[in-house]
A and B are shown apart, each in its own frame.
Chain A
């Protein structure tokens, strides 16, 4: 092919370089516009409080770690005399806080809230994946009576608005003393996640040919041993992908958390929008919390890019 021909030639499947450039430009433009709000928030985490609410809004500003310090501490305002009489500030964050006539009074609640998110998120994910794997294996390998209906029933449990589901759960937990407990939230999130887990894992397990298990059974293994030695190793990718999607749901969930937790078991999503500074919302601290909270999910997304599609459509779409 001549150079000229090569530059315009294309099969319909492989686009010409010109088309590719235009497509690329449009997508890059969209991506840049879409990421601007996130960049603004990431930047706000490094602004001082007055910079964050300056009008007109500041694009160039003096960065400071106040937002992060405010996120992790509780401070009280003191008179300048009181501060002058204190022993000199030992650490960089003490110095930072004293510049504003304030003194650190203790750690804020963000770390316990983050731990709650971790425990409830990972706990419910673990349980949902465990129960889901077992149930999905059964649906895939055995003939369960009413399987179709059961599977649709499992799916339909996700159609109710969470606020609606919360009404009887609230009453139930009140009686059982499960409000504001790890157990209560883990049970609830597991129940919501297990439907996703069963659908996803069934799809993954369906793809593993039965011949391997049959061979193992013929060789004298029990069904359970066959499951452990043959099926599970091949389903590990699917299990990992399922786990990530369950985790994303539990991690970001707000409605149940705000209605059913209060102090001990409160997770990050109901905590972040209500971080208060002096008189108003502490935007740098909120931005700092948002940034820190999204990092684990972003990492997982990048790692499991290839399984993203399957997960968010309940396994209905495979790549």
Chain B
């Protein structure tokens, strides 16, 4: 009995070891030998424009013979993954399309290759690109001619709405009766809230629908990228324009508090249930499945939405982020493309950037779903007619405002994520308290960096 049991187990053990040996040997054998052909790895976020870039990149491979490989990561873990990669001096990426707010850290920590000499050599002038994109994606320190990226993807927050619902006569009539004005895409946030309340809980085509979709994601940057669209227009400032890093009275001014309260009111009254941790993909799902009348999202998704069989074409309309009592801004998105300093293929990477910067490539980039930042493309006379969202995109790029791009931006962002989500979604404290705490958090971060922070 002993013998046979032990014998059986020995066979099992032997089998397991053999399996292991086989797997390990196979894995080692199929490990790709150092690529004979040239290769570049480009790292970006996994979204529609990335797929368009893959298509575009085929032209580059044809021209140069360099094969393009891609590493795309979902937005919710994009910063996490790639900041980790850059910090650990990894060799995964040769080219990286990093978020606009990483510029400070990337420059100071020498993660990116400085591109000034390259631009001079190849006659690439920053003046050819939309100024907001050069400032936002490329410069560090801000407002100095030090370039760390080529503006690659121009983006901002915009809104989509169900044009077909807005066009129904019975809905228009009811709205006019209630609010004494025509139902039309809102120009101010007050108007937007009215429209959202109007649609909230309404039965359309047999299904209950909801008014609006706004960002509420907690983990990476979602709720911040949503709330700033309201805060900017209610008078929120990051600091005193005359005295950098003085935040008291600017981050938590009475107007900013009103703005934060408005965002929470909008969240509570007029959004779909269960959207407590929602960012880009949930918005697309909600809009495409016919759950909401209006959706806040990045312009990057609008080409895909326009082509959607369920809600695209004539059913979809677009409008610019509405204005508030104190201003009209929209949150800047978008990224620039940079060469990673630890890459072993810097020359090839620079070649890619040179190719990408050409006007004809930029034009094709716009046509297949990307957003070019080249003036020659967006200022062309035919541009506003080239897509139904093109006029709104142009207008938005003229009113963009960005979050901190300091090297410590990750800390600043995470602090704001926490304070805003705690107040808006988790019902903790008041708006004034949330913003006061935020000033304290940010002051601490800047002090640790050694910056002088004025308190009054």
Contact = CB atoms under 8 A, between A and B. Distances in A.
B89 A280 contact: no
Contacts of B47: 279
A180 interface: yes
Interface stretch (B19-27, B198-206, B215-223, B443-451): B19-27
Given A259-B84, A279-B284, A281-B281, A55 B289 contact: yes
A237 B12 CA distance: 9
Nearest to B282: A280
B116 to A, nearest CB: 28
B48 A174 contact: no
Interface string B278-296: 0011101100110000000
A264 interface: yes
Interface stretch (A2-10, A15-23, A31-39, A114-122): A114-122
Given A240-B12, A240-B16, A276-B74, A119 B88 contact: no
Size bin of chain B's contact surface:
35 or more
Contact of B73 (A123, A274, A281): A274
B20 A126 contact: yes
Interface in A217-266: 233-234, 236-237, 239-240, 243, 259, 262-264
A119 B285 contact: no
Nearest to B41: A263
Interface centre among B48, B54, B90, B304 (most CB of A within 10 A): B90
A122 B84 contact: no
A233 B3 CA distance: 10
A173 interface: yes
Contacts of B9: 236-237, 240
Contacts of B281: 279-281
Interface string A100-116: 00000100000000010
Contacts, number: 86
Contact of A236 (B10, B19, B54, B285): B10
B92 A274 contact: no
A234 B19 CA distance: 22
Interface in B1-20: 5-6, 9-10, 12-13, 16-17, 19-20
Interface in B48-89: 48, 51, 54-55, 71-74, 77, 81, 84-85, 87-89
A76 B55 contact: yes
A53 interface: yes
A280 B289 contact: no
B46 interface: yes
A95 interface: no
A239 B54 contact: no
A122 B20 CA distance: 6
Interface in A88-105: 105
A177 to B, nearest CB: 8
Interface string A255-292: 00001001110000000001010111100000000000
Given A119-B23, A259-B84, A280 B92 contact: no
Given A76-B55, A263-B71, A279 B23 contact: no
Contact of A280 (B55, B71, B90, B285): B285
B301 interface: yes
Contacts of A276: 46, 72, 74
A270 B247 CA distance: 39
B88 A170 contact: yes
B68 to A, nearest CB: 12
Contact of A174 (B24, B46, B74, B89): B89
Nearest to B290: A55
Given A119-B24, A278-B304, A280-B281, A179 B88 contact: yes
A240 to B, nearest CB: 5
B437 to A, nearest CB: 25
Contact of B54 (A105, A119, A125): A105
Given A53-B289, A279-B301, A279-B304, A173 B88 contact: yes
A77 interface: yes
A75 to B, nearest CB: 9
Contact of A262 (B27, B85, B304): B85
B46 A264 contact: no
Contact of B23 (A76, A118, A233): A118
Interface of A: 53, 55, 76-77, 105, 115, 118-119, 122-123, 125-126, 170, 173-174, 179-180, 233-234, 236-237, 239-240, 243, 259, 262-264, 274, 276, 278-281, 303
29 contacts: A76-B51, A76-B54, A77-B51, A115-B23, A119-B24, A122-B19, A122-B24, A123-B20, A126-B17, A173-B88, A174-B87, A233-B6, A233-B10, A236-B9, A237-B9, A239-B13, A262-B81, A262-B90, A262-B92, A263-B92, A264-B92, A274-B74, A276-B46, A279-B48, A279-B280, A279-B301, A279-B304, A280-B281, A281-B74
Given A243-B13, A262-B90, A303-B12, 14 more contacts: A53-B289, A118-B23, A122-B20, A179-B88, A179-B90, A233-B10, A240-B13, A240-B16, A259-B84, A263-B90, A274-B74, A279-B48, A279-B285, A281-B281
